Amino acid sequence: MKSILQQVKQYKKEFVAAPLFLIGSGLFETMIPLMTTHIVDDGIEQNNISEVLHWGSFMLIFALLALTLALFGYVFSAKASSGLAANIREALFRRIQQFSFSNLDKYGVSSLVARETSDVTNIQNAAQTVLTQFFKTPAAVIYSLILTMQLNMRLSMVLIIGVLIIAILLSFIIIKSIALYRQVYVDYDELNNKIQENVTGIRVVKSFAREESESHVFDKAAGMVRDGFVRVEKLLAFNNPVMMLSLEFCFIGIAWIGAKYISVGEMTTGDLTGFITYAFQIMSYMAMLVLSFAQLSSSFASIKRVTEVLEDEAAIRDPENPVCHMADGSVEFSHVSFRYGEGSGKNVLEDITLSIRSGEMIGIVGATGSSKTSLVNLISRLYDVNEGHVLVGGHDVREYDADTLMRDISVVLQKNLLFSGTVLDNLKWGKPDASLEECAEACRQACADTFIAEKKERYDEVIEQGGANLSGGQRQRLCLARALLKKPKILILDDALSALDTATEAKIRTTLREDSPDMTKIIITQRVASIQDADRIIVLDKGRVCGFDTHENLLKSCGEYRDLCSAAAMN
């Protein structure tokens, strides 16, 4: 909760002003029935029209004051709550940007999107409710009760007892509804995840003709949410009958006792009229308060989910005095073991020790799931090792600042992404100040120049979100060009050329070798044949290095490598 309140920031004034204005408006509102008593007693009963006009004009002024203050109160509360929501969204976004891969694994993308959007909206609505109802309403109820006491002490006791009974009954309903709401929001989250997953993967759903079965799964999730809301609404439906019943009893009591008092001259007709108006006012305030509580209870789950992200520390942070210069592209693993925080708890890399010289071209091969991606992720510090050290350019990766690592190590991930924008926009992610010549050169090295030349707008061709309007191989070449533009000291390609034909892939490797002899090139591939000409090849098997040598030597010494080669030859 503290981390949410910290986001009030520049809206402190609005947060104070809104309740103050609304309390003011509530107090003026509650004074109006008092004027009614004067109009009845001094005006209508005495047949005195000037008294009616006198108190009537007071009534008008008070009503206008109440309205004006309420108007300001609502404007301030709207500013405060939407400002708070904007600040929370910004803070969440910034926090997510700082997150390392292990933080992201913990939440999952769709959950983070839901927290940024619907959860923040829930908090905004809750803040609006608190500001508009939670100060004004109790103040108005208490003030109304004080005024009724002044009208008639004993009769006001009937009203106070009625209010207390309603308060007890309604708090019981509210406490139960909070628990139900919590469950509804868990189901709601499930529904969100389902939508996100399905819409993102709609092409796969269609290609497997899974529309029908996916719809069933969705219907089930939607049904759970519907049932949950029906359960809450059923409970909340008791609010009205409870209120009305208590109200009726209260009125019967007030009218019965009030009539007796009037008959013995202890009370005037005007006082009773005022009294009944107050009773109405108090009850309607209570009803509003109950609805607000119910609405607020629905946002508790959102507050918890947003706070969780805001208070989560990024798993990877820069050291105190970071190294900001990478001497060369050498890489060394020394007794490295690693496991994923959100995984099975078992090491996916076990006691890895190896050394790569700057400028070498290294291939990494191994069966799927043998931890090839996990190994290279440690070089650019996407994850931290659990044991041992990873040294780059002679320093432990944990000694560098993140910017240096990101600048000097380019990774083309297995699941790489392009963003909506032009070809040039996407390329410049690698180097914002790159000239068109530099971009063209990077595209030539990545063999992307040919297909860009065929596009109508060439470098200004618009790419849709995720690169949807490009072929798989075009996407991969553009991602490679983007990575090369940085002129990194280490280039890591994680199965990043898999969609290219072997001739283009070989051409790219030759260009990389000839044009960037000082750049260390680490290439993961499923096609063993395509890295036979690498300087050395790392063979991984179930998270262990079982061979690290040239193709010829591995053929002699490494059984696993021979198996991979013969399996490839059979295909």
Ligand X SMILES: Nc1ncnc2c1ncn2[C@@H]1O[C@H](COP(=O)(O)OP(=O)(O)OP(=O)(O)O)[C@@H](O)[C@H]1O
**How far apart are CB 103 and ligand X at their closest, in Å?**
11
Q: Which of 130, 40, 38 is nearest to 77 (CA)?
A: 130
**How far is it, in rounded angstroms, from Cα 360 to Cα 231?**
65
* Binding at 340: pick from Mg ion, ligand X, none (beta carbon under 5-8 Å per type): ligand X
185 vs 383, beta carbon nearer Mg ion: 383
350 vs 549, beta carbon nearer ligand X: 350
How many chain residues interact with Mg ion (CB under 5 A)?
A: 2
**How far apart are CB 195 and ligand X at their closest, in Å?**
23
143 vs 340, beta carbon nearer ligand X: 340
Question: H/E element holding 365?
Answer: strand 361-366
Distance of CA 215 to the CA centre of its chain: 26
Cβ-Cβ contacts under 8 Å for 427 (sequence gap 6 or more): 434, 439, 442, 443, 459, 478, 481, 482, 485
* Binding at 342: pick from ligand X, Mg ion, none (beta carbon under 5-8 Å per type): ligand X
* Binding at 348: pick from ligand X, Mg ion, none (beta carbon under 5-8 Å per type): ligand X
Nearest-CB residue for Mg ion? 373
372 vs 482, beta carbon nearer ligand X: 372
42 vs 387, beta carbon nearer ligand X: 387
300 vs 340, beta carbon nearer ligand X: 340
198 vs 414, beta carbon nearer Mg ion: 414
Which range of residues in 310-318, 368-376, 377-385, 392-400 is near Mg ion by CB under 5 A? 368-376
**How far apart are CB 184 and Mg ion at their closest, in Å?**
39
**Residue 277 interacts with Mg ion (CB under 5 A): yes or no:** no
Structure-block tokens of residue 236: 């909340």
> In the complex, which residues of this chain contact ligand X (CB under 6 A)?
105, 340, 342-343, 348, 366, 368-374, 414
**How far apart are CB 91 and ligand X at their closest, in Å?**
25
**Residue 148 interacts with Mg ion (CB under 5 A): yes or no:** no
Q: Which of 380, 394, 392, 387 is nearest to 352 (CA)?
A: 387
**How far is it, in rounded angstroms, from Cα 482 to Cα 478?**
6
Dihedral class, residue 476 (left if φ above 0, else alpha if ψ from -120 to 50, else beta): alpha
319 vs 369, beta carbon nearer ligand X: 369
**Residue 377 interacts with Mg ion (CB under 5 A): yes or no:** no
**How far apart are CB 349 and Mg ion at their closest, in Å?**
13
Q: What is the 3-state secondary structure (H, E, C) of 384-453?
A: CCCEEEEEECCEEHHHECHHHHHHHEEEECCCCCCCCEEHHHHHCCCCCCCCHHHHHHHHHHCCCHHHHH
**Residue 373 interacts with Mg ion (CB under 5 A): yes or no:** yes
Q: Which of 398, 365, 399, 362 is nearest to 381 (CA)?
A: 398
**How far apart are CB 467 and ligand X at their closest, in Å?**
20
387-392 and 395-396 strand pairing: antiparallel
**How far apart are CB 511 and ligand X at their closest, in Å?**
25
268 vs 374, beta carbon nearer ligand X: 374
* Binding at 517: pick from Mg ion, ligand X, none (beta carbon under 5-8 Å per type): none
**How far is it, in rounded angstroms, from Cα 140 to Cα 120?**
30
**How far apart are CB 529 and ligand X at their closest, in Å?**
16
224 φ, ψ to 5°?
A: -60, -45
Cβ-Cβ contacts under 8 Å for 315 (sequence gap 6 or more): 99, 100, 102, 103, 341, 384
The C-alpha torsion from 142 through 148 and 149 to 154, rounded to 10°, is: -120
**Residue 330 interacts with Mg ion (CB under 5 A): yes or no:** no
**How far apart are CB 333 and ligand X at their closest, in Å?**
14
* Binding at 343: pick from ligand X, Mg ion, none (beta carbon under 5-8 Å per type): ligand X
Neighbours of 62 (CB within 10 A): 18
Dihedral class, residue 359 (left if φ above 0, else alpha if ψ from -120 to 50, else beta): left
Cβ-Cβ contacts under 8 Å for 319 (sequence gap 6 or more): 398, 399, 401
* Binding at 571: pick from ligand X, Mg ion, none (beta carbon under 5-8 Å per type): none
Within residues 402-421, the interface with Mg ion by CB under 5 A covers: 414
Q: Which residues bind Mg ion (CB under 5 A)?
A: 373, 414
